[in-house]
Amino acid sequence: MKRSIALVLVYFLLQLLATGLIALIINQGSTVNIQQTTVLGLLISDFLMAGVLLYMGYMRDKKQWEPVAPSFMLWTFVAGISAIFITDTISSLADFLPDLLEDSFASIESSWAGVLAITIVGPVLEEMLFRGAITTELLKCYNPKYAIFLSALFFGIFHLNPAQILTAFLIGLLLAWLYYKTQSLWPGILVHVMNNSLSVYFTQTYPEEDSLIQLLGPTLVFICLALSIRLLILSVRKLDRCK
């Protein structure tokens, strides 16, 4: 538990140091703006954290990077899409929660480097950290159900944004379970990249729509929600039977 918390704190510290370093460069007359500072800080801290995980030996297990059976990845895709729709619906219903990072994300997503940081680099690094390192540590100390719960809880709290904590926790349950099931990072990376990419796509395509219910209408949303719940249950059952 202590090591898991320490890893999260190290990641936060690296983000602060990287952003502070770029800000220092700006103060010395660089033409880098605030948006570029944030994006560069994210990218640098992600790569530094990857180096920390490699140095600590968390990424030395080759099984974490072994390919997973295509059938498993197919059902992972179905489970991921279903879970994303469910959590987005929950987020729409909980729109009273403040989104403290809305402006920050809008700024980051306005550049290709920012989109890359959110949709690819961030998901890969977070899977390495939260599943490859933290979930691995928790599974050594607790039974699988409790370890998966704690891993998802850490993942939710890590986002610090009230509008994201609950949905990140729920997605984190699926991500941690997929890692426990396969000991591979690829299923989690797939779902994580899908989630972030869809978020960026809809934010860029429908900037004036604040929620899924506003975009699709309540009737269609709840029809799709019922279908998503059934698909999630089916896909999880299929995944649980896979070897």
pLDDT value for 34: 65
**Of 143, 235, 154, nearest to 191 (Cα)?**
235
- DSSP for 69-105, written as a single string: PHHHHHHHHHHHHHHHHHHHHHHHHTTTS--TTHHHH
Q: What is the pTM of this model?
A: 0.91
**How far is the C-alpha of 5 from the C-alpha of 157, rounded, in Å?**
11
pLDDT value for 27: 61
**How far is the C-alpha of 160 from the C-alpha of 171, rounded, in Å?**
15
pLDDT tens digit sequence for 189-208: 999 999 999 999 988 888 77
In this predicted model, which residue has the larger pLDDT, 41 or 190?
190
**Of 124, 115, 89, nearest to 203 (Cα)?**
115
pLDDT value for 40: 84
pLDDT tens digit sequence for 50-106: 999 999 989 888 889 988 999 999 999 999 999 999 999 999 888 888 888 777 787
Reported confidence tier of residue 28, pLDDT bands at 50, 70, 90: low
What would the 3-class secondary structure string for the chain be? CHHHHHHHHHHHHHHHHHHHHHHHHHHCCCCCCHHHHHHHHHHHHHHHHHHHHHHCCCCCCHHHHCCCCHHHHHHHHHHHHHHHHHHHHHHHHCCCCCCCCHHHHHHHCCCHHHHHHHHHHHHHHHHHHHHHHHHHHHHHHCCHHHHHHHHHHHHHHHCCCHHHHHHHHHHHHHHHHHHHHHCCCHHHHHHHHHHHHHHHHHHHHCCCCCCHHHHHCHHHHHHHHHHHHHHHHHHHHHHHHCC
